[in-house]
A and B are shown apart, each in its own frame.
Chain A
Amino acid sequence: MAKPSPDSKTPYLLILPYFVLYFAFGLFPILFSLFISFTSWNGFSTMTFVGVANYVRLFFHDAAFYKALYNTALVMVCALPLSIVLGLLLAAMLKDYFDRSRNVFQLINFLPYITTPVAIGILFQILFDWKAGAVNSILLAVGIVKAPIYWLGHPWPARAVVVLLLVWQGFGYMMVIFLAGLSTIPAELYEAAKIDGAKWRDTFFRITVPMLRPVMTFVLTTGIIVGFRLFDEPQLLFSGEGEPIGGPDHAVETVVMTFYQAAFRDFSFGYGAAIAYGLFIVIFFFSFVAMRIVNRGNDYGT
């Protein structure tokens, strides 16, 4: 632009609304939460300053927090690679083998991602109901199982249902991101490989996967960040009467569920805020490690 003098007010006026709104409804609550995390407070009575007591309790005396972290990490470690691989394969296949019908398949596989997570939780609760659920009916009819499986009543089957739910919900999103990434790979690479007589499988592993490494980093780190926020689906999956929070033996209770329970059910605002900050520290650590791992692979790879 015709170099307006750097002290011109215009750009500052343009970015002002963003920063005002961010400070008012983004940063202020975050800092305020940090302050609250050093207190004991139920939101109504007087606030008592307790120093780092909430954090000491969280990191050294709260087995439930670690169990929730374990649960969240476990379903993520299973679901994230599965949905990435499925999304990548589907994207590569759609790009190379489908032309006119590509849009239809894109939309169908993207549907789960746009469905309200609350609805997904309830829907899976109904589909996996041990008496009336469609899944057991089909398994029984085909003869894969002899007796109905009590999916949501035992810890490991319940976890499996959550993983399945997350893969179903997430692979279409991965597919769309990978399709976007695929379209930036120069076609000449594939043409050259084809002249050399490479098969689809070869080009997939030798060209597609290496070239998509930046996209992979992107989906992996955002996947971890989003994965640790898991709340709606498992919360609703076990929302029926008489069902324990977080499923059988708290097997699928996630960190955000623990946070919600502490802050907004038990009204321990101070402790709840500390859980949120504890989770933030963990997320930061994990996404840092993930980024390091993916980037290190890159150094050796090329």
Chain B
Amino acid sequence: MAPRRYRAIPVYAAVVLVSLAAFFPFYAMLMMSTYVSEQLFTGVKLLPGAFLLQNLKTILAIHYLHFYANSLVVAATHTVAAVFISALTGFAFAKYPFRHKKLLFYFILGSLMVPPQLGLVGFVVEMKFLGIVNSLFPLILPGIANAFGVFWMTQYIAAAVPTEILESAKMDGCTALRLFLQIVLPIIRPALVTIFLLFFLWSWNNYLTPLVIISREALYTVPLAISMIGSEYRTDYAARILALAVSTIPVLILFAAGSKQLIRGLTAGSIKG
């Protein structure tokens, strides 16, 4: 339909301009991370400087890698568990009849409306009571039971997994767990990828939960660490900016690799319903 050529020039210009504006803060961040702090006060830096390695040394010296490892452990375990539980629960809701199914499903939908801070005070007290405040568990556990994930997987599995295949496999004596692992999971891979990306992103970026729970520096995650570097090493702006830039790398890689899948997955899953 597109009226191409000359008429389209304003459209191209608009899209390119918006994209440039979207990219500028990133670019500025990358560039600023290659200077020493004093130089940053002498004007905008549009070309890379020569102090990337020095800044890298500075952030490595404050155990940035250790915080990075914490974040990776938290995000990876949380996300794998949450995706698995979402798919398993969605499988049951999509393909099995059982009593009170509707009621239970509405219960899950209703919990979607509840903001996560609502239970935060109680959660902190609960974690203290269980004696696991000095571990990464308080960051991994909440949200493994993810209502959004279940809702989404139920929709997807109902539409994408043919009931006949499941039936014939069942005739051959396949157990429910094997059905799930060997038949359902391979079919719903696009949905798994999409939801993995989103869960990983939300976990990786989470700030409030670690802020109120984690007090030992050894357990800091990346967002907590970069907010703290802010106050402790305030003078070293450049190193701080490099830390910000580096914090984005894992999600950047994941989304660059999966952006096509993400859009396809979103199309198939959430919107139709």
Q: By DSSP majority rule, is chain A's interface helix, strand, loop, or mixed?
A: helix
Residues of A within 8 A of B208 (CB): 231-232, 256, 260
Whether, in the assembled complex, B244 has its beta carbon less than 8 Å from a beta carbon of chain A, the answer is yes
B1 and A190 contact, CB distance less than 8 A: yes
B231 and A241 contact, CB distance less than 8 A: yes
A33 and B113 contact, Cβ closer than 8 Å, known pairs A1-B163, A14-B92, A176-B266 = no
0/1 per residue, A185-223, Cβ < 8 Å to B? 000001100100001100100000000001100100000
A124 and B25 contact, CB distance less than 8 A: yes
Q: Which of B225-257 contact A (CB under 8 A)?
A: 226-227, 230-231, 234, 237, 240-241, 244, 247-248, 251-252, 255-256
CA distance A280 to B204 in the complex (A): 25
Residues of B within 8 A of A168 (CB): 21-22, 25
Q: How far is the CB of A202 from chain B (nearest CB, A)?
A: 11
A21 and B85 contact, CB distance less than 8 A: yes
B145 and A118 contact, CB distance less than 8 A: no
B28 and A127 contact, CB distance less than 8 A: yes
CA distance A4 to B263 in the complex (A): 36
| Apart from A26-B145, A97-B15, A117-B223: 20 A-B pairs, beta carbons within 8 A | A1-B170, A6-B97, A7-B99, A10-B176, A13-B176, A25-B143, A26-B143, A27-B119, A97-B2, A97-B11, A107-B259, A109-B19, A116-B223, A171-B22, A183-B267, A229-B115, A241-B234, A259-B117, A260-B212, A272-B121
Q: Which of B's residues lie within 8 Å of A, judged by CB?
A: 1-4, 8, 11-12, 14-15, 18-19, 21-23, 25-26, 28-29, 32, 40-41, 43-44, 85-86, 88-89, 91-93, 95-99, 101, 104, 111, 113-126, 128, 141-145, 147, 150, 163, 166-167, 170-171, 176, 180, 201, 204-205, 207-208, 211-212, 222-223, 226-227, 230-231, 234, 237, 240-241, 244, 247-248, 251-252, 255-256, 259-260, 262-263, 266-267, 270-272
